[in-house]
Structure 1
Amino acid sequence: MRFIVSLIFLLSQFALQAQVNTSVVDLDEILKKTQDFYKNESSYYIEIQYKLFENHKDSHPLSTYKGEMGKMKNTYYNNVLGTEMYVGNDIMIKASHDQKAIEVSNNTPNGAEAIFNISGFLKSFKDYKVVQKEEVIRCELLAPELTSLPYGKIILYINKKDYSLQRQVMYYLHSSEYKNEKGEMVVSYPKLEINFSQVKPVSLLEKEVFNKSYYIVQNKGVIQPANNFANYKVINRI
């Protein structure tokens, strides 16, 4: 069972039409500081751990998998569940190892950071609550009863010292069907927990993944896979 995940960091400013449950903490200000933390880092590497739970109350993960992401100047890289993503100022490349395909598309006008710009997504929440603890800021976002979002609630745990994102928990609104360990079909409303490591040196990633030529070769408007992806099909959406 796979889920498309929006990583909530490098956030842009946004305005939530919400009932503020704290008179001290401003959510816009908190997320702006989180955005600035990652924006001001010229390069970094982050390890990511995903934990999928059968239901909202379950404390034992159904499955666990890892991912990674990095930044080098204005280029971003993400790798999770067999898919590598390169995001530059002018182009976005998704390389799926499962499907043996490379999708190439133009990036949005806002540049590489646009992939993490989910301001419109966050505006869809009706309410939020912010609680400051000793070392962590807990931000809870609640969706309205009628929503097109796949999540009813998202909780962010932000480091109080530097405003980096530590953890994100997503509570799904829609049920999923799968086989349990006994082979029985089970229907449940899953929960996904995403844990982010502290920022590490980008040298932990191969430099090649930040180069467009690692994925594709462009010649007179024709896009072909690079040697690393020689047998992959190219889907050109430029």
Structure 2
Amino acid sequence: MLLFLVSNISAQSKSNTENVKEIFEKVKNNYETKNFYSFNIKYQLFKSANATVVEEFYTGKIIKNEAKYYSKINNTEFIQIEDIHLKINHDEKAMLYLKQPVSSYNSLIELASFLKFFEQTNIELKQDTYVCELVSKNITVLPYSKVIVYIDAKTYCINKQVLFLLNQQNFEDDKGNIIASNPRLEIIFSPVNHNPISGEKFVLSKYVSLIDGNIKPSKHLKGYQIINTTL
């Protein structure tokens, strides 16, 4: 799950950039100051910038429970409990175990830090929604040519992101021919729930066990390969 921004040399673009930065800082403050939140995410991949037929679809979720974080993208889970970070890929039956400070899932809230990677910006207010359009530089390290972020102007919650991908992918056209195209990824966020979330998602023993001083997958994840970076 990922969000980005802009800068430009013209006076008008500089003003736009400052406006976007201010809005993104309010988004960051909105999420950072809440002890609890959760929301669902839908990912929709289209074969081109203007295509209307969804080629791939999967779901995700993000939960904050005080200083603990959980997210899921399709069949991969990410868990942060104190200084323990887990990434679990259920398709590959593999788990990454490492220690790192709580990140607050910065790709969600640290939006302003990405401004330097963009050279054009446009911002509009449409029906209580800020629409921030960010265009990448001609030479960029980002995998996107353009990003559009939709932000609720009242709550400063993210409603939607649209990512225009630089790398081409192969798709099948109506006649069954394989064509290369630059896809568009739409990420849609559900309304935010601020009620506390309880349950096993934030219980470390659900995922790993300490056996003879070694970190092992829990019984629930028996057979999973574990990569322990703390050794």
The alignment's TM-score, normalised by the length of structure 2, stands at 0.87
Please say if 1:103 is aligned against 2:96. yes
Q: Could you tell me which residue of structure 1 aligns to residue 44 of structure 2? A: 51
Q: Could you tell me which residue of structure 1 aligns to residue 188 of structure 2? A: 195
Equivalent pairs, count: 225
Q: Could you tell me which residue of structure 1 aligns to residue 69 of structure 2? A: 76
Structure 1: state its 5+ residue gaps: none
Q: Could you tell me which residue of structure 2 aligns to residue 138 of structure 1? A: 131
Query: 1:165-199 CA distances to partner (integer Å, 9 max, x unpaired)?
Result: 00000001110124457653221100000000111
For 1:44 and 1:114, how far apart are their aligned partners in 2? 13
For 1:168 and 1:126, how far apart are their aligned partners in 2? 18
For 2:126 and 2:14, how far apart are their aligned partners in 1? 13
For 2:105 and 2:187, how far apart are their aligned partners in 1? 21
CA separation of 1:27 and 1:89: change in aligned 2, threshold 3 A: farther
CA separation of 1:183 and 1:151: change in aligned 2, threshold 3 A: same
Query: 1:76-127 CA distances to partner (integer Å, 9 max, x unpaired)?
Result: 11112211110234121011110001111222x4x23154346554421122
Are the counterparts in 2 of residues 140 and 156 from structure 1 also a CA contact under 8 Å?
A: yes
Q: Could you tell me which residue of structure 2 aligns to residue 151 of structure 1? A: 144
For 2:112 and 2:82, how far apart are their aligned partners in 1? 19
For 2:226 and 2:174, how far apart are their aligned partners in 1? 37
For 1:84 and 1:57, how far apart are their aligned partners in 2? 31
For 1:56 and 1:142, how far apart are their aligned partners in 2? 14
Identical-pair percentage:
29
Please say if 1:227 is aligned against 2:219. yes
For 1:89 and 1:129, how far apart are their aligned partners in 2? 39
> Larger deviation: 93-102 or 177-186?
177-186
Aligned residue among 178, 190, 210 for 2:202: 210
Paired residue secondary structure (1:94): strand
The alignment's TM-score, normalised by the length of structure 1, stands at 0.84
Paired residue secondary structure (2:41): strand
For 2:219 and 2:195, how far apart are their aligned partners in 1? 24
Please say if 1:87 is aligned against 2:80. yes
CA separation of 1:89 and 1:140: change in aligned 2, threshold 3 A: farther
Aligned residue among 13, 17, 26 for 2:19: 26
Aligned residue among 75, 85, 104 for 1:113: 104
Structure 2: state its 5+ residue gaps: none
Letter in 2 for 1:66: T
Letter in 1 for 2:134: L
Shift of 1:218: 3.2
Aligned residue among 225, 228, 231 for 1:236: 228
CA separation of 1:56 and 1:130: change in aligned 2, threshold 3 A: same
> Larger deviation: 209-218 or 98-107?
209-218
CA separation of 1:184 and 1:85: change in aligned 2, threshold 3 A: same
For 1:78 and 1:224, how far apart are their aligned partners in 2? 21
Are the counterparts in 2 of residues 90 and 112 from structure 1 also a CA contact under 8 Å?
A: no
Letter in 2 for 1:112: S
For 2:106 and 2:228, how far apart are their aligned partners in 1? 18
Paired residue secondary structure (1:123): helix
Paired residue secondary structure (2:53): coil
Paired residue secondary structure (2:142): coil
